[in-house]
Chains A and B, each alone.
Chain A
């Protein structure tokens, strides 16, 4: 599987965020998108996720499922955690697992993998920022999607959480997935660097 973008240009609010951007990533490979604040890292991920329409350029996923679009084969982990405070941890995860569909794993196992199984019945409103992030990560595990688009994935995670997430990313790459992550911190896995915006 190979994800490639050619000559991408993104315009938001009349301002050019980035242009002439080429990128590619193949199965088992991670791409770390770095750059200063406002360089367009989040915009790039949202373009890849199909949530923004690029002003120019094209995105292609080769050797993926021909029936599905890139967005339908991708997980997007954004700044916002997509959790409902009124629902319990388990209800939140079960909903996304059922709604996203496809190849799914047992929700209990996924909660255990992110060390949240003790809080399964707690309303999500009571979770800390780090725990909310862990629950979002459990969503990536519960439904299999080959492409992971991660926006600052390790923000709010403690040291143990970061180590846990590095392990999960390694497993994902080893199983033939690919990762594109916008990050300020080192990802902790072997990743190619895609530098955006301004002088380094």
Chain B
């Protein structure tokens, strides 16, 4: 267990240092969300209707932004070889890396959501609903994204490939994330139904992601 804790600590530390991914993700999220009202125009009703979708798209793109470095950085400097060789099962190491990525890059997005909700004319309940759906849904984005990151690891310029591979997988998360937020704001659907499906998607990706990523890392090494 201490090996996994050490891996999580190291990845978070790197993400928080200068040049790490944590701040970049939040800044990108902020930029996308701030630009939206300017593009949509000063129609407050329209903004608050689009708000959850904008926040979700922003979070999706922001988490994708730093995901391509998840394994590439370790592959380039040789750390991945040692992680593969180590006594820690590769599946658990993958899960630990994804968890560290979510803590460093996903959690700040959720914390920033209430501030950004103000810009999109979302009231308290709506903001809370979006934050709750992001909290339940972003782990699914990270853990399915990890599969793409592992596939792209040996390719140069794998970042673009990552987007092509991962975005289709994130469509269900996006649908139910926005549906749950809308349900909380305007109904008529109860919030619980899409929210439960969102949680289920996250749990399923929590299980599938590490195994798929580990398998593709084992086959991709050369």
Contact = CB atoms under 8 A, between A and B. Distances in A.
Interface of A: 12, 46, 49-52, 68, 71-72, 74, 76, 78-84, 86-87, 91, 94-96, 98-102
A4 B143 CA distance: 40
Given A50-B84, A84-B79, A101-B86, 17 more contacts: A51-B85, A51-B221, A52-B222, A74-B85, A76-B82, A78-B78, A78-B81, A81-B78, A82-B77, A86-B18, A87-B14, A87-B17, A95-B6, A99-B7, A99-B88, A100-B86, A100-B87
Interface of B is mostly: helix
Given A52-B222, A84-B10, A76 B81 contact: yes
B85 A49 contact: yes
Contact of B2 (A50, A86, A101): A101
B20 interface: yes
B85 A98 contact: no
Interface residues of B, number: 27
A96 B87 CA distance: 12
A79 B78 contact: yes
Contacts of A98: 2-3, 5-6
B123 interface: no
Contact of A86 (B17, B76, B78): B17
A86 B88 contact: no
A96 B2 contact: no
Nearest to B83: A99
Contacts of A74: 85
B218 to A, nearest CB: 9
Given A86-B17, A98-B6, A51 B81 contact: yes
Contacts of A95: 6-7, 9-10
B175 to A, nearest CB: 37
Interface in B33-61: none
Contact of A52 (B13, B14, B79, B221): B221
Contacts of A49: 81, 85
A71 B3 CA distance: 17
Contacts of B86: 72, 99-101
B116 to A, nearest CB: 28
Contacts of B79: 82, 84
Nearest to B86: A100
Contacts of A76: 81-82, 85
Nearest to B219: A53
A79 B19 CA distance: 24
Contacts of A84: 10, 14, 77, 79
A107 B84 CA distance: 22
Contacts of B76: 80
The 10 closest A-B pairs by CB, nearest first: A80-B78, A98-B6, A86-B17, A82-B78, A71-B85, A82-B79, A95-B10, A99-B6, A72-B87, A99-B3
A20 to B, nearest CB: 22
A95 B10 CA distance: 7
Nearest to A97: B6
A133 to B, nearest CB: 12
Nearest to B75: A80
A193 to B, nearest CB: 26
B85 A72 contact: yes
Nearest to A50: B85
A42 B178 CA distance: 51
Nearest to A100: B86
Contacts of B222: 12, 52
B6 A80 contact: no
B12 to A, nearest CB: 11
A180 B19 CA distance: 37
A122 to B, nearest CB: 14
Contacts of B5: 98
Contacts of A52: 221-222
Contacts of A91: 10, 13
12 contacts: A72-B85, A78-B81, A80-B81, A82-B81, A86-B17, A86-B18, A86-B20, A98-B5, A99-B10, A99-B83, A101-B87, A101-B88
